[in-house]
């Protein structure tokens, strides 16, 4: 573990959240996000409770705020979109500091920002505590079709190979005087993308031949994926991991009842 070979969003650690099997965390994430999305946006208190749930999870996973917050900037483009809504929507208007804002637009913006933020926060938590190599086995345990699992497995493996190939091709272009930032040289970049596609296609053929040579018959054997990874989740782990998600569902339901 932790030899610098995980995805960039992974934060190495040994908390009990890290030790949970990935399939449990995926289910917990989906349930939590659905609960958040289903919460009526006219209320404010449920979202405060969700934020507290996230904070507790981060504490349990030993993820400091200064690690999470910069990575949450990924949602910035959506925030920009949300900011425009109060100006664009029609209906009932309020005046704030001399500017007329739409009430439904304000609620819509608030809903997008708060639900998006919570969704990103929850996803980052799973990403930070789950190594990419656990994903294929976790997805197959969740009965995701084998074809999709193998595609994901291959993607995880070859994204680095492709990245290295792109860097080498770019270096070779730049050393011959190409400046990829100049618009008039976009042709070279485009040809590079085409060459990369062909190379990847040919590599795909070779990988398939190599797999065929080791008895591949269309599905990745589960035991091969399981070698060296965590055992399937115990019921205690399911309960533990689903606690935040179940709490979120309870909050969402009571929000609807109390509304």
Partner 1 sequence: MSVPAVRVEDLHYTYPDGHIALAGVHLDVAPGERVALLGPNGAGKTTLMLHLNGVLTAGRGSVAIGGTAIARDTLREIRRRVGLVFQDPDDQLFMPTLAQDVAFGPANFGVRGAELQARVAHALAVVSLTELADRSPAHMSGGQRRRAALATVLACEPEVLVLDEPSANLDPVARRELAETLSGLDATMLIVTHDLPYAAQLCSRAIVMDGGQIVADGPIGEVLSDADLLAAHRLELPWGFTVPVR
Binding site for partner 1 (CB under 8 A): 1, 3-5, 132-133, 136, 153-154, 156-158, 160-161, 203, 206-207, 209-217, 220-221, 223-229
Contact in structure between 40 and 259 (CB atoms under 8 Å): yes
Say how far apart CA 255 and CA 72 lie, in whole Å. Answer: 26
The distance of closest approach from Cβ of residue 106 to partner 1 in the complex, given in angstroms and rounded to an integer, is: 46
The distance of closest approach from Cβ of residue 122 to partner 1 in the complex, given in angstroms and rounded to an integer, is: 24
Q: Which lies closer to partner 1 via its Cβ, residue 75 or residue 165?
A: 165
Q: Which lies closer to partner 1 via its Cβ, residue 189 or residue 229?
A: 229
Say how far apart CA 188 and CA 58 lie, in whole Å. Answer: 46
The distance of closest approach from Cβ of residue 229 to partner 1 in the complex, given in angstroms and rounded to an integer, is: 8
Q: Which lies closer to partner 1 via its Cβ, residue 145 or residue 221?
A: 221
The distance of closest approach from Cβ of residue 174 to partner 1 in the complex, given in angstroms and rounded to an integer, is: 23
The distance of closest approach from Cβ of residue 162 to partner 1 in the complex, given in angstroms and rounded to an integer, is: 10
Contact in structure between 140 and 219 (CB atoms under 8 Å): no
The distance of closest approach from Cβ of residue 226 to partner 1 in the complex, given in angstroms and rounded to an integer, is: 8
Q: Which lies closer to partner 1 via its Cβ, residue 57 or residue 153?
A: 153
Q: Which lies closer to partner 1 via its Cβ, residue 5 or residue 259?
A: 5
Q: Which lies closer to partner 1 via its Cβ, residue 98 or residue 218?
A: 218
Closest to 104 measured CA to CA, from 116, 117, 90, 114 = 90
């Amino acid at each position: 573990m932790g030899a610098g070979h995980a995805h960039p969003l992974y934060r190495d650690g040994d908390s009990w959240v890290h030790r949970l099997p990935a399939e449990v965390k995926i289910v917990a994430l989906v349930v939590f996000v659905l609960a958040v999305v289903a919460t009526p946006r006219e209320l404010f208190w449920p979202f405060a409770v969700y934020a507290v749930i996230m904070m507790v999870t981060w504490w349990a996973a030993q993820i400091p705020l200064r690690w999470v917050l910069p990575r949450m900037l990924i949602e910035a483009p959506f925030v920009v979109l949300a900011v425009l809504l109060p100006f664009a929507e029609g209906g009932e208007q309020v005046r704030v500091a001399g500017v007329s804002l739409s009430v439904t637009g304000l609620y819509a913006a608030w809903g997008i920002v708060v639900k998006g933020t919570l969704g990103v926060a929850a996803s980052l938590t799973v990403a930070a505590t789950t190594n990419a190599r656990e994903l294929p086995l976790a997805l197959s345990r969740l009965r995701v079709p084998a074809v999709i699992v193998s595609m994901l497995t291959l993607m995880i493996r070859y994204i680095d190979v492709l990245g290295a190939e792109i860097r080498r091709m770019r270096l070779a272009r730049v050393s011959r005087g190409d400046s990829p930032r100049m618009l008039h040289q976009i042709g070279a970049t485009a040809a590079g993308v085409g060459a990369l596609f062909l190379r990847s296609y040919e590599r795909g053929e070779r990988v398939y031949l190599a797999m065929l040579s080791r008895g591949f018959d269309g599905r990745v054997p589960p035991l091969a994926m399981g070698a060296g990874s965590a055992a399937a989740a115990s019921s205690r782990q399911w309960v533990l991991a689903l606690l935040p998600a179940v709490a979120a569902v309870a909050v969402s339901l009571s929000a609807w009842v109390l509304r």
